[in-house]
Structure 1
Amino acid sequence: MQCEASFAPAPPIEVRPVTSQRDLQRFITLPRHLYAGLPGYVAPFDLEQRTLLDPKKASVYRHAEIQYFLAWQGNRPVGRIAAILDHRAVEHWQERIGQFGALDALPQPEIVAALLQTAEEWLKARQVTRIRGPVTLSGNGESGTMVEGQLSAPMIAMPWHPPELDGFIQRCGYETVANLLSYRLELTPETRERFKVPEGLKLGAGKLKDITTRSLSKKEIVTQGETLRRLYNDAWAHKFNFVPMQDYEMAAMIKDIKPLLRPEHYVQIDQNGEPVAMAMVLPNLYDITGDLGGTPTPLGWTRFAWRLAFHRFKSARVILLGVTSKLRGTLLGALLPSLAITELMRRGQSLPYKWVELGWILETDTAMRNLAESLVPHPHKRHRLYEKTLSPSSEA
C-alpha cells in the first residue's frame, strides 16, 4: 500500500494597518522573531527599537504622517513596513516623494511584494508621485537595505537584512538610486601612527593659527547640540536624500545618546570662533547588548548597566562628519575632514576601541570615499536605497 501525502496550501497573505498597542508591540519586535537564527543577525534591544518607532517617542512624527502595516499569514505576522509622508522632506526636495521604511519580512517574495504594494497605495492616496526608501523613519535615521556585510559585526543604527531582500525589492519595480558604504578601520598601533598631524598643519598654530577645536561638554550639551544641528544641516544640504534636522529631533537624539557619550566622542572645529567642521563618534551599543537578547532578564539588565558604567565597548561608529558650505571648494575645506578625523582618533586613544566604522558614505561622494579608502581599501558593508515612480491612485 502506497502512502499519499497531502499538504494544506499556505494561508493567503493579508496586510493590515497597525491600529492597536498590541500590534504596535508586534511591529517593533517582529525582526528578532523573523530573523532569529539567521547567520550574522543579532537582535537589538526592544527598548532601543521602541524609542525609534513608538509614535509617542519618535520625534519625526511631529512633521510626518506615518502608517505601520503588518503582513499576516493566518495568525502569524510575517512582515512589516512603514509608509511615510515626511512634510519636511517634501518641502526640502520640492517634490512629492513619499518613503517606505522598517521593511522586514520572511525571505519570501510574495510577502515583500504585498507590503510594498500596500505602502504604495497608502502614499498614492496622498498624491505622492514617487516612493523612496527604506528609511527608519527618516533620512536622519537608519537608512538602506543591507545588501553586503550580513556576517560583519553589527553596528549601532545600521539596519540588518537577509541577502534575499534586495532582489525581492527590485522585482517590484524599484531601481537603485544610492549605495551607502561603510568601512571598518582597525585601530592598530600602525593605523594610529597614520593619524599624526603633518608638520605645519597643527590646529591652532602656524598656517592654522585661527583654527581651534572643542570637545563635548555634558554641561553644555544642549547648546552644543544646536550648534551641531546647524552645522550638520549646512554641511549636508547638498547630499542625496538629505532632510534638514529639526531642533526637536536633535534634542531627542541628544537625550537618547547622552548616556553613551564622553568628551572624546565629539570634535568641533572653529575658524575665528565660528563652527566650520565637526566629527562625532558613537560607541557601538551592540558590544554591550549583543549577548543579552531583545528583552534582557534582570541579570541581563544588571550586566548592561555595569558594562555601560565602565564603558566596556570594543568598537564605535563615526556617525557625523561635515564641513560648512562656506568652505566648499577651498583648500581648507578639503583638508578639514581629514583633520577632524585625525583629531577624533587622537583623542580616542584613551578609549578602549579596537576598531571604528566609517559610514555610511555615499558611493558617489568621491571626496569622502577617497578619505576613507586612504585608510581602508574596501568597504565591508553596503546598504541600498531604491525609488519607484507611482501611477496615479484610482482613489485620487
Structure 2
Amino acid sequence: MQSSISNILSSFISDSQEINVKFVSGKKDLNLFITLPQKLYAEYTDYVPALKMEQEALLHPKKNSLFRHCEHQYFIAWVDDKPVGRIAALIDHVAQEYLQTKIGYFGALDCIPDPRIVAALLKAAEDWLSTQDTKTVRGPLTLSSNGESGVMVTGQQEEIMVETPWHPPGLAELIEASGYTQTEDLLSYRLEIKTEQVQNYKIPGNLEIGAGRLKDVTIEKVSKKQIQQQAEILRDLYNDAWDAAYNFVPLQDYEMKDMLHRMKPIIHTNNYVQINKGGEALAIALVIPNVYELSAGIGSSPSLLGWVKIGWRLLRGRFKSGRVILLGVSNKIRGTVLGSLFPGLAIHELIKREGLPGMNFDWVELGWIRSKDRPMRNLIEDSLVPEPYKVHRLFEKELP
C-alpha cells in the first residue's frame, strides 16, 4: 500500500511544485479541514474514517468546550488546487497557567507522508505560535492532552479504536526530521477479556476487597444518572490522579460534563468502576464501547438508511471491543503499597464484569500507558499482556 501512495505522490507533487499553507477561513475551509483525512488516506486499506459528526464535535470551535480556554488557528497545505495536509496550532491558557511556561501545541496533523509537506505544515504552526509569544511547541495533540494524543508509530494494521488517532507509517520520522525531539511514547495494550489467562487474573497479593488489608475498601455502585451527577467527583479524582505527570493539563468542569454528555447514549453503569476506601473515592476506571463499530461498512457520512442502521446497532448495544479511557489513583495514596494495588483492583473489577450488560466485550484496549510508567507497565505486562500492540509518540521543539 505504501508504494501506491508513493505513486500518487509522484503523479502530482514534484520538487519544482510549490507547497502553499493557508489559513482555514470560513465554513467551506472548516468543512474541508474536518473531512480531509478521509480524502488523504483513502488509499490506505487499514484506515477507517470516523463519523463526520464526531469529528465536528471535536474540531468545530462552536461545538467543543475546549475552545472556551483555547485560541487556535487551523491550516491546510495545498499543491496547486489539491489539499495535501492539515494542522492545528493551539494556545491552551489553562496549560500555560498550570505549567507556568509559554507552551503551545500542534495537533490534527494529517497529511500525505512527504517531508516537504510535513515541514511546511509544522513551520506554519510554529510561525503562528511564535506570534503568541510561545517558547515551546509540543504535539501532536487533538486537541488537548485529554484527547487524542501522539502520532501513531506502530499499530496501523490493528483494528481502529475510539479516541485513538491513526497516521500512516513514517509520519513520526518526518516530524523528528523537522527538528522535533521525542519526549514520550504512549503505549496501548490489547486485553483479550475472554481468555483463560485474563479471566484467572488475581488481585496482586491475592487480596480480597472487604477483607484483611482491604477491609474498608469497597466498590461504589452507581446508576447511569449518578455517573452524570458525579462529574465533579470524576474530574477531581482524574485531575488528582494525573497531577504532575508529563503532558497533563487539568480537565475543566465544563469539559468533563461535555464528555459525559456525549458518552451518555453508549455507556452503561457496568462501564464505570469507582473504588472507595473508608467512603472516600480513591480510584476510578471507565471503559467505553468502540463507537467505530457503529459505522462499520456505512462510512463517515451516512445516508438516512445508514443512520437507521447506526441507531439499531446502538439500541442493541452489542460491542465487541472497548477502550479504558480513565484509569487513575488518587495522589493521596500514590507511592504507597495501597496505591500500587488500586490499578490492579480496578482492572480486576472490569474483568469480573465480563458478560454483564454493557460489558460483553471480546477485548478491551488499555491505552495511553506512559512508556516511563514502569509500575503500570509491570502490572500489565507481567500478568495480562506481554507487550503493547500500538505506540503513539509525542514531540517537543524549542522556538527561537
Alpha-carbon distance in structure 2 between the residues aligned to 1:173 and 1:216: 48
Q: Matched residue of 1:325: which SS?
A: coil
> Where does residue 376 of structure 1 map in the other structure?
385
Structure 1-normalised TM-score? 0.94
Matches within 5 A, 1:41-120: 41-120=47-126
Q: Does 1:361 align with 2:369?
A: yes
> Where does residue 232 of structure 1 map in the other structure?
238
Q: Does 1:272 align with 2:267?
A: no
Alpha-carbon distance in structure 2 between the residues aligned to 1:181 and 1:162: 17
Letter of the 1:356 counterpart? V
**Pairwise CA distance, 1:313:** 0.8
1:250-295 superposed Cα distances (whole Å, 9 cap, x missing partner): 0110111111100110100111111101111111111222321111
CA contact (8 A) 1:184 1:355 kept: yes
Alpha-carbon distance in structure 2 between the residues aligned to 1:257 and 1:48: 11
Find 1:176's aligned residue among 170, 176, 182: 182
Find 1:133's aligned residue among 139, 142, 154: 139
CA contact (8 A) 1:288 1:312 kept: no
CA contact (8 A) 2:203 2:344 kept: no
**Pairwise CA distance, 1:210:** 1.1
Alpha-carbon distance in structure 1 between the residues aligned to 2:168 and 2:244: 31
**Pairwise CA distance, 1:8:** 9.7
How big is the alpha-carbon RMSD for the aligned residues of Structure 1 and Structure 2?
Answer: 1.6
Query: Measured at CA, do residues 332 and 298 of structure 1 come closer, stay the same or move farther in structure 2, by a change above 3 Å?
Result: same
**Pairwise CA distance, 1:16:** 0.9
CA contact (8 A) 2:188 2:367 kept: yes
Q: Does 1:143 align with 2:110?
A: no
**Pairwise CA distance, 1:348:** 3.0
Residues matched between the structures, number: 385
Alpha-carbon distance in structure 2 between the residues aligned to 1:299 and 1:128: 48
> Where does residue 281 of structure 1 map in the other structure?
287
> Where does residue 387 of structure 1 map in the other structure?
396
Query: Measured at CA, do residues 388 and 212 of structure 1 come closer, stay the same or move farther in structure 2, by a change above 3 Å?
Result: same
Alpha-carbon distance in structure 1 between the residues aligned to 2:154 and 2:204: 35
CA contact (8 A) 1:200 1:207 kept: no
Query: Measured at CA, do residues 57 and 258 of structure 1 come closer, stay the same or move farther in structure 2, by a change above 3 Å?
Result: same
Instruction: Identify which range, 38-47 or 241-250, moves more after superposition.
Output: 38-47
Unaligned runs of 5+ in 2: 1-11
Alpha-carbon distance in structure 2 between the residues aligned to 1:55 and 1:8: 32
**Pairwise CA distance, 1:11:** 4.1
**Pairwise CA distance, 1:109:** 1.2
Alpha-carbon distance in structure 1 between the residues aligned to 2:242 and 2:236: 10
Instruction: Identify which range, 109-118 or 350-359, moves more after superposition.
Output: 350-359
Q: Does 1:18 align with 2:24?
A: yes
**Pairwise CA distance, 1:194:** 2.1
> Where does residue 8 of structure 2 map in the other structure?
none
**Pairwise CA distance, 1:220:** 1.7
Query: Measured at CA, do residues 318 and 152 of structure 1 come closer, stay the same or move farther in structure 2, by a change above 3 Å?
Result: same
> Where does residue 7 of structure 2 map in the other structure?
none
Q: Does 1:159 align with 2:168?
A: no
State the identity %. Answer: 52
Letter of the 2:370 counterpart? L
Letter of the 2:217 counterpart? I
Matches within 5 A, 1:311-330: 311-330=317-336
Q: Matched residue of 1:68: which SS?
A: strand
> Where does residue 347 of structure 2 map in the other structure?
341
